[in-house]
Amino acid sequence: MLTEGCNLSYTVLNPLSTIKPGMPLMISSYVLAAIIVVISIGASQLQGYGTEQACWLSTDTGLIWAFLVPVVVVIVVNCTIVVLVIRTMCGTTAMLKKSNKRRAKAALRCILVLMPVMGLTWGFGALSLNSDTIVFQYIFALLNSFQGLLIFIFHCVMDKKLKDAFSKQRYKWFQSTQSFGVSEGKKNKTQDSSVF
């Protein structure tokens, strides 16, 4: 989620930059996550990884902080990024020409699109610490299971560049199948006329 937030901020806040952080940012996010896991395993000696009731970090030993601190940091950073993105988006010339109501609608749409991807689901995960917060555990499981679908919808299905590229490719494919059919038809006619 932090990688997604950093990519979004870099794309929106530095649109003319030719340097994109993509792969190095992705690698560093996995390395950082691995470091957190290794430190928590080393400090706890695997005591507290799961309980008899659930496969979750123990709240008794304090191991839950290896989860909570990164989640809270990521959510705070991503919420800040969302605010900056909305502020930048609403400050564009095209948006300034619109009414306050239309700008508020666009900002709300941006929040609804970005927050599930940027950390809303893990906010509920942070609230689902024990059996007293069972409602948050269900919300967390439900939202987290749909996170991949939301990423696919917002970053693939609704992405204008991807739709344009797909349309061009589909047109090329359609043209190639038509020309293949035409050339096959000419070949068949030539063979038929040579028989007679």
Per the domain annotation, does 196 fall within a domain?
no
**Tens digits of per-residue pLDDT, 28-63?**
888 988 898 888 888 777 776 766 666 667 667 777
**Tens digits of per-residue pLDDT, 121-148?**
777 877 776 667 788 888 888 887 887 7
Question: Measured between alpha carbons, how far is 125 from 177 in angstroms, rounded to an integer?
Answer: 50
Per the domain annotation, does 194 fall within a domain?
no
Per the domain annotation, does 144 fall within a domain?
yes
Domain of 106, in residue numbers? 2-174
Q: How many domains does the chain have?
A: 1
Question: Measured between alpha carbons, how far is 38 from 30 in angstroms, rounded to an integer?
Answer: 12
Q: Mean pLDDT in the chain?
A: 75
Per the domain annotation, does 29 fall within a domain?
yes
Structure tokens at 104: 């508020």
Per the domain annotation, does 146 fall within a domain?
yes
Per the domain annotation, does 57 fall within a domain?
yes
Give counts: helices (H), strands (E), the chain: 8, 0
Q: Give the global pTM.
A: 0.63
Per the domain annotation, does 10 fall within a domain?
yes
Per the domain annotation, does 186 fall within a domain?
no
Burial code (b: 16+ CB inside 10 Å, e: under 16) for 130-143 equals eeeeeebbebbeeb
